[in-house]
Chain A
Amino acid sequence: MGGQGKLRHVPRLYVLALLIGLAGQLLFWSQAHDLRIPWSGVSLAPTPAAARITGLGDTQFYYRAAGLGLQNMGDWAGGLTPLVAYDYGRLAGWFTLLSQMDPKSQYVPSFAAYYFGQSRNPDQVRQIIGYLQQLAVENPQQHWRWLAYGAYLARYRVKDPVLGLALAKQLAALPVEDMPVWTRQLPAFVLADAGEREAARDILEAILMTAPDLHPAEQFFIRNYIDTRLGFSGEVR
């Protein structure tokens, strides 16, 4: 009872049928193994309810699985898609949806900023900046640093000093107590970079006057910056 008999007891017709099937499959493989289904581009982000249904109620699973899918989207099976070919409006929709599903994680903001933020198209980078700005404003305790990165993208990728300054000012004004002092100094650095030396000096002096418990090393750095980089030697109040 049970078990397998010997192969030589199988009728030869069946073995022949198996070999023909195998040959057909190998022939198909030889013709089809280079064919790739073309990438259809970034799909529209689903609604939050549809996303929850897809994840069978496990929002963390959906966040991670969809995030990994977005990170690798367009780049698979040896093919690479240039960033300019992505629809950044749709990407921003996905990033916003996913960040709503896990407001704590840094995963989606990280690849949005460090990967998709490297596009050479300023309009695309503006979409990323918009997402990072929204994230930081909605949850400043967790995500204030993305506003600083947004200011960097605005200044050096988009080359829009006005936007960079607006983001730096927004960061400096965030109600987060334990933000490092450089976040308060950032508008001054952006102004200095744009040649607005006096406005930069005013901001840095205001920090010196309103933060008396600043570490001596920080105080020295600010005074030195005003003296040497802004060129107001001996004028610090």
Chain B
Amino acid sequence: MRYILVTALRDRLFLALPVMLAVGAALVIFLSGSAIIEQREMAAALFGAGSRVLVIVGLVLFVCFHIRQAMAGGEIALILSRPVSRGAFVLIYSASLVIVGFICVAVAIALVWLCARPPLDGLLAWGLSLALESMLMILTAVFFGLILNSAVACTLACMGFYVLARMSGLLGALADKAGETGGLDLLLGYGFRLISLIIPRLDFFTRSEWLVYGWNGGGPGIAWAVLQSLAFTPLILAAAIIDFSRKRL
């Protein structure tokens, strides 16, 4: 844990991400002031979505480059020379990265509160959900970081995964529609459905409407985000452990 925190400090994660979030907050306050009504709601929705993307992209970049650097520098091989199994290493390493992610999420929550003064229940639901979304993306970045040999490929894979995961609900709906027309659309529909089976439903997470109307804003609630996290976390961790156990360092 201490090792991860030190590297996060060394890589200026705790400086760069809050500065980026603060600049984003200033920009959003300026932009939302030009809305003819509902300026607070405008600021909440724009900063909610913007800070989510900044936190996720920042953490994915940090995790991917951190893992590749640690692999190339032999730090991971050094840790594994101690009496610790590869499975335990992946678990502890992931947990430490998730704690780093939670620190960044806390900064985003504080800035959303300062910037938009959302309803408290909505902010709590949004913050918890952002923490869970960050956790899933950190675990995904750990998975790709441990199996791919390039930080750039790992980052791109994570970003592609994230976009698909945010759209997976819509993909499922499109798959249902494609199934009705037959032919090539039917095949595409099967493809979409296969993708949406494995990819988590991140569209349940961190919805800006919670910051606007509170957590009872309509649609699936926070419980679905918690259930999705409970389902996907063991899956991605097990996949990472299996792949890392087979890897030659």
Contact = CB atoms under 8 A, between A and B. Distances in A.
Interface range for B: 20 to 34
B169 A107 contact: no
A110 interface: yes
A56 B169 CA distance: 10
Given A57-B202, A60-B212, A107-B37, A68 B42 contact: yes
B36 interface: yes
B48 to A, nearest CB: 7
Contact of A60 (B31, B34, B37, B207): B207
Contacts of B202: 57
A61 B52 CA distance: 11
Interface string B138-169: 00000000000000000000000001001101
Q: Which of B32, B202, B208, B211 has the most CB of A within 10 A?
A: B208
A57 B34 contact: no
B166 A57 contact: yes
B54 to A, nearest CB: 13
A58 B36 contact: no
B156 to A, nearest CB: 17
A88 interface: no
A52 B45 contact: no
B75 interface: no
Interface string A28-62: 00000000000000000000010011011111110
Nearest to B170: A52
Interface residues of A, number: 26
Interface stretch (A14-22, A98-106, A152-160, A196-204): A98-106
Contacts of B36: 71, 107, 110-111, 114-115
Interface string B176-195: 00000000000000000000
Contacts of A107: 35-38, 41-42
Which of B31, B36, B53, B173 is most buried by chain A, counting CB atoms within 10 A of its CB?
A: B36
A68 B34 contact: yes
Nearest to B204: A57
A210 interface: no
A72 interface: yes
A138 B167 CA distance: 28
B38 A61 contact: no
Nearest to B46: A64
Residue of B37, B163, B202 ringed by the most chain A CB atoms within 10 A: B37
Contacts of A72: 34
A115 B36 CA distance: 9
B213 interface: yes
Interface in A114-151: 114-115
B49 interface: yes
B174 interface: yes
Interface in A64-85: 64-65, 67-68, 71-72
Nearest to A53: B167
Contact of A57 (B35, B42, B174, B203): B203
A105 B212 CA distance: 10
A158 to B, nearest CB: 22
Given A59-B209, A61-B208, A68-B42, A106 B37 contact: yes
A59 B45 CA distance: 10
B170 A65 contact: no
B37 A61 contact: no
Contacts of A59: 209
A53 B170 CA distance: 8
A110 B163 CA distance: 33
Contact of B167 (A56, A64, A106, A115): A56
A56 B38 contact: no
A153 B19 CA distance: 47
18 contacts: A49-B174, A57-B167, A57-B169, A58-B49, A58-B52, A58-B203, A61-B46, A61-B49, A63-B45, A64-B46, A65-B46, A68-B42, A68-B46, A71-B35, A72-B34, A107-B35, A107-B42, A114-B36
Given A60-B208, A71-B36, 12 more contacts: A53-B170, A57-B166, A58-B48, A58-B208, A64-B41, A64-B45, A64-B46, A68-B35, A68-B42, A107-B35, A107-B36, A110-B37
Interface of A: 49, 52-53, 55-61, 63-65, 67-68, 71-72, 102, 104-107, 110-111, 114-115
Interface of B: 31-32, 34-38, 41-42, 45-46, 48-49, 52-53, 163, 166-167, 169-170, 173-174, 202-203, 206-209, 211-213
